[in-house]
Structure 1
């Protein structure tokens, strides 16, 4: 979610510098690309994986928060539970299912919203404008939280951590360039585990 230019571009630049013979062509988008149909070797995805025949390597994780602007809260109040959350207007990518943690239990939510965008930076802008609640990675909103422009909501039911994954088409062994990229991401983002893309 909009991590590409800010977080992953420096890693790809370092990859190109470290391996001068490697051709690097990157596309920075929050939409889910069809790796095979669109000719991508791999993708870096942040979030919760959907069922897929693709293979995924977890290279790290990040945290997210549910937030709203002070203006939205003044007009509509702040939800305290998942049941209240789904009655509010949200800004979102599409028709995705959202999740909240109740201790070690995951609660699924199907919120509704009239503002949709395929980019998390745009969703943050909409939340700042008071259009609705947003669920976004903390790295994208830390300054807004510090200034009070965005306020956390539903703190007793936070979203689960977001995994950072390298996704590739199925096959026996990943190409060396994918292994090298994966290793560099692990250097930057910490612990990892090998999972099938159907695992959450």
Structure 2
């Protein structure tokens, strides 16, 4: 992987495409009526998006196609791992929260990591949509995009699934837990 250009080598791209194709074919309920060959063509035309998907994959997100916007001609990928991605856990919400911690600082923040990966954090609406596709975060939780008015007051929101219901909660943005990460979204 070339960090400067954010492109995968040909071999890395081929391996990632195999993984994504396999996941796509095993989870057709997430993308009814879509064809892998069209998704692959979009991916091959967007090397930087492949790089971002590789980051999603390597941190445990298990990205998969969950929507297609015909007007924009864009496919949307979400992290579809059963639990919040392991390679992104124990992080606070954003850089401001990270800087505010005086001791026991986490290694990073959700917003910083998402930016570095070239992805967005799921919104509450996107998180609820994901939960319509399956049961996710039954043992973990995921930071979700926090409205400015909540963040301005020092808070951040996260969500999970318990008792067959999706819950959205609040916490101080500087908090971090071993079972909380974030789920990403990427449009291609």
- Which band: TM-score by shorter chain? under 0.3
Q: TM (normalized to structure 2)?
A: 0.27
Q: Which has the larger radius of gyration?
A: 1
| Higher helix proportion (structure 1 or 2) | 2
Instruction: Indicate the structure whose relative CO is greater, using CA pairs within 8 Å and at least 6 residues apart.
Output: 1
User: Comparing both structures, which one devotes a greater share of its residues to strand?
Assistant: 1
